[in-house]
């Protein structure tokens, strides 16, 4: 019995982003319509370090046929800040099919989820974007959204001005988009139809009066207790959509500002699947707060594994457990 070992470079080469968008869209719809047990999430700080270790398991969806166990660490002061491994198992036997680097999988599946939410919740004519936090996830958010809708212009803000400038230059060239680095958060948010935030902030950055009428915000930084990007008042006055209701309250955007499930309008899968209308007016402000779900890892890992088995993939090495 052999297990594939897949490095970060191999994972990146094997992923087809457009196919993964389709698979994750279907996955969110199935997740929100399913009564299956939700995955467990175990998190603990690393002693004497500014980092945390997290295990997500089992990542699966009805009918997928596999499950994942992801073990990763978050170290905000390092690049990449999130790194670890995903173990992909056969759901019927437990056979370990593959062990793969989790860094790229986590980044791209998170970027796609945020972009799916922005695309389905933002106004149809929304074409100006503000990136708040010009790290790895900021680039994946913008890259995924640019693949879903035509964008006119982008502004980039980061607490480190040099990082915003580098982001604007690199992503502007990659996407052939005009991207302007700005040094004022208020200005960045005020210019945008769509705000994509992915920071390490522990206090809300987006406050009442900052957003333009009809704006959409995707907030992904608040993915564990103690983090927050959007204020309670802004959330209360908006349509708030999450990836998972309970996680939004336990550790997501709502936990960070002391709100409960009563402010949740829908899950992303309900809006994508058409069981919730999503935006109901041109002036309505919409917010997506995603924590990140284990089924996303399973869908992405299975996508990688299937492509690794094609004849032209030439993936090696493997572990032979019976040797």
Ordered by where they begin, the domains of the chain are 2-106+295-320 (3.30.1780.10), 123-292 (3.40.50.720)
Span 259-313, pLDDT tens digits: 999 999 999 999 999 999 999 999 999 999 999 999 999 999 999 999 999 988 7
Using alpha carbons, list the distances in angstroms from residue 159 to 166, 205, 209, 216.
13, 11, 21, 22
Q: Are 297 and 103 in contact (CB under 8 A)?
A: no
Q: Given pLDDT bands bounded at 50, 70 and 90, which one contains residue 322?
A: low
Residue 37, pLDDT score: 80
Question: Does the structure show a pLDDT above 60 at 158?
Answer: yes
Does residue 209 come out as left (phi exceeding 0), alpha (psi in the -120 to 50 range) or beta? left
Q: Are 59 and 297 in contact (CB under 8 A)?
A: yes
Question: Does the structure show a pLDDT above 90 at 2?
Answer: no
Span 29-52, pLDDT tens digits: 999 999 778 899 998 988 877 888
Q: Given pLDDT bands bounded at 50, 70 and 90, which one contains residue 316?
A: low
Residue 265, pLDDT score: 98
The answer for residues whose C-beta is within 8 angstroms of residue 20's C-beta and 6 or more apart is 108, 109, 112, 299, 300, 303
Residue 1, pLDDT score: 66
Residue 77, pLDDT score: 81
Span 174-213, pLDDT tens digits: 999 999 999 999 999 999 999 999 999 999 999 999 999 9
Span 60-102, pLDDT tens digits: 999 999 999 999 998 888 888 889 999 999 999 999 999 999 9
């Amino acid at each position: 019995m052999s297990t594939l070992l897949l490095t970060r470079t191999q994972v990146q080469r094997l992923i087809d982003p457009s196919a993964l968008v389709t698979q994750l869209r279907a996955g969110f719809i199935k997740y929100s319509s399913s009564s299956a047990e939700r995955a467990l999430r175990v998190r603990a700080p690393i002693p004497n370090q500014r980092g945390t270790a997290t295990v997500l398991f089992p990542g699966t969806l009805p009918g997928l046929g596999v499950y994942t166990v992801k073990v990763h660490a978050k170290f905000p002061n390092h690049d990449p800040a999130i790194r670890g491994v995903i173990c992909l198992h056969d759901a019927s036997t437990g056979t370990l099919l593959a062990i793969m680097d989790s860094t790229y999988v986590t980044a791209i599946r998170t970027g796609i989820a945020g972009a799916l939410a922005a695309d389905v919740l933002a106004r149809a004519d929304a074409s100006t974007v503000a990136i708040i936090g010009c790290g790895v996830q900021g680039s994946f958010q913008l890259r995924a959204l640019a693949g879903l809708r035509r964008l006119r212009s982008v502004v980039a803000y980061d607490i480190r001005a040099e990082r915003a400038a580098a982001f604007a230059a690199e992503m502007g060239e990659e996407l052939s988009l005009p991207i302007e680095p700005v040094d004022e958060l208020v200005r960045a948010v005020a210019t945008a139809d769509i705000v994509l935030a992915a920071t390490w902030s522990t206090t809300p950055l987006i406050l009442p009066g900052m957003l333009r009428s009809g704006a959409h915000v995707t907030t992904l930084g608040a993915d564990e207790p103690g983090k927050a990007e959007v204020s309670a008042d802004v959330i209360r006055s908006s349509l708030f959509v999450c990836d998972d209701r309970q996680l939004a309250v336990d550790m997501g955007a709502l936990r960070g500002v002391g709100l409960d499930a009563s402010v949740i309008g829908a899950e992303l899968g309900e809006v994508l699947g058409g069981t919730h209308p999503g935006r109901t007016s041109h002036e309505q402000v919409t917010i997506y707060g995603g924590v990140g779900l284990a089924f996303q890892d399973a869908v992405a890992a299975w996508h990688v594994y299937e492509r690794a088995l094609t004849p032209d993939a030439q993936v090696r090495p493997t572990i032979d457990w019976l040797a």
